[in-house]
Structure 1
Amino acid sequence: MPPEPDHRLFFLLQRAAHTLRLTADRRCLAAAGVTTAQLGALFAVRDQRGLTQQELARTLGLRQSAVTPLVARLTAAGLVARRAHPHDHRAVVLELTDAGAAAVRAAAPEIDRFNAEMRSLLGDDGFAGTAAALHKLAHWRPLPDR
């Protein structure tokens, strides 16, 4: 008799996220010299012209305190540049450098390979359904505690 399926959703999500992150980080580091967290920031900077560090934090769903060292590492690596905000002297705008754009391009085949493996594992319907469910979970706002 096969074992009963595990219904501890939070545990399963944590375990899956850990396994996927380790695998994706290893591949992205080998292909482009960046982690998936760094790659997510590079995508956001590329896709949203004039993005501030505060907006990057919001886009990535991170606290400003987590984004500050992330941006510092990307800047030190020459992947992102900071420039003065045109209207707010307290803010800086993040721009993707040529090296940052090259890192995004170098990571693209690994992202495609990773997604192809997930499609193979889950099937096309399972992949689409999983992506939709994870999108819902990522944007879920729990009810306030009573």
Structure 2
Amino acid sequence: MVEPDQRLYYLMQRAAHRLRTTLDRRCLAVAGVTTPQLGALFAVQEEPGITQQGLAHALGLRESAVTGLVGRLTAAGLLSRQAHPRQHRAVVLELTEDGEAALEAARPEIDRFNAEVRALLGDDGFERTAAAMNRLAHWEE
């Protein structure tokens, strides 16, 4: 009998890649956006007027990465940037109508995807995995 692979980091990387590429393909087909773009759009929807620095913190990304992401979303007409009312170098981000439409188009696919993963893991396995991933995501050495 072959022992299951115990290389946790490797398995998490492979699983993350598989999940991301699958959902990216599906979300691109239905909404024209990738999962990182969706993450940014959802964060702006949850906190209208968020700054790019706030978005970087919310997404766990460097500000330089968020600058490019916001630039692409703005060029695609999904986000708008406005001058911050009190910070002269900062901008605030808002969803456009097209950004809202992209989120609405993606939601059913995200729900389908989550249902498929839940079926694969079982309800208890899904909840335990989500809780474990949340703990790992917020782990501080």
Common fold by TM > 0.5: yes
Q: Percent identity?
A: 71
SS at match of 1:58: helix
Query: Quick check: 1:40 aligned with 2:39?
Result: yes
Q: Distance in 2 between matches of 1:86 and 1:125?
A: 47
Alpha-carbon separation, structure 2, partners of 1:110 and 1:69 = 25
The one-letter code sitting in structure 1 at the alignment partner of 2:7 is R
Specify the alignment match of 2:27 in structure 1: 28
Partner of 1:12: 11
Task: Output the TM-score relative to the length of structure 2.
Answer: 0.98
Q: Deviations over 1:78-137 (max 9, x none)?
A: 000001111111100000000000000000010000000001000000000000000011
User: Does residue 92 of structure 2 align to residue 101 of structure 1?
Assistant: no
Aligned match of 2:65: 66
Aligned to 1:51: 50
Q: Secondary structure in 2 aligned to 1:69?
A: helix
List per-residue Cα deviations over 1:44-94 (Å, max 9, x = no partner). 000012200000000000001111100000000000000111111110000
Q: Segments of 4+ in structure 1 off by > 2 A?
A: none
Q: TM-score, normalised by structure 1?
A: 0.95
Q: Using the alignment, how far apart are the partners of 1:97 and 1:129 within structure 2?
A: 36
Rounded to whole Å, the distance in 1 between the matches of 2:21 and 2:140 is 27
Paired residues, number = 141
- 1:84 counterpart residue number: 83
Alpha-carbon distance in 1 for matches of 2:137, 2:6 = 19
Q: C-alpha distance in 2, partners of 1:43/1:84?
A: 21
Unaligned runs of 5+ in 1: none
**Structure 1: which amino acid aligns with 2:97?**
D
Give how far 1:10 is off. Answer: 0.3
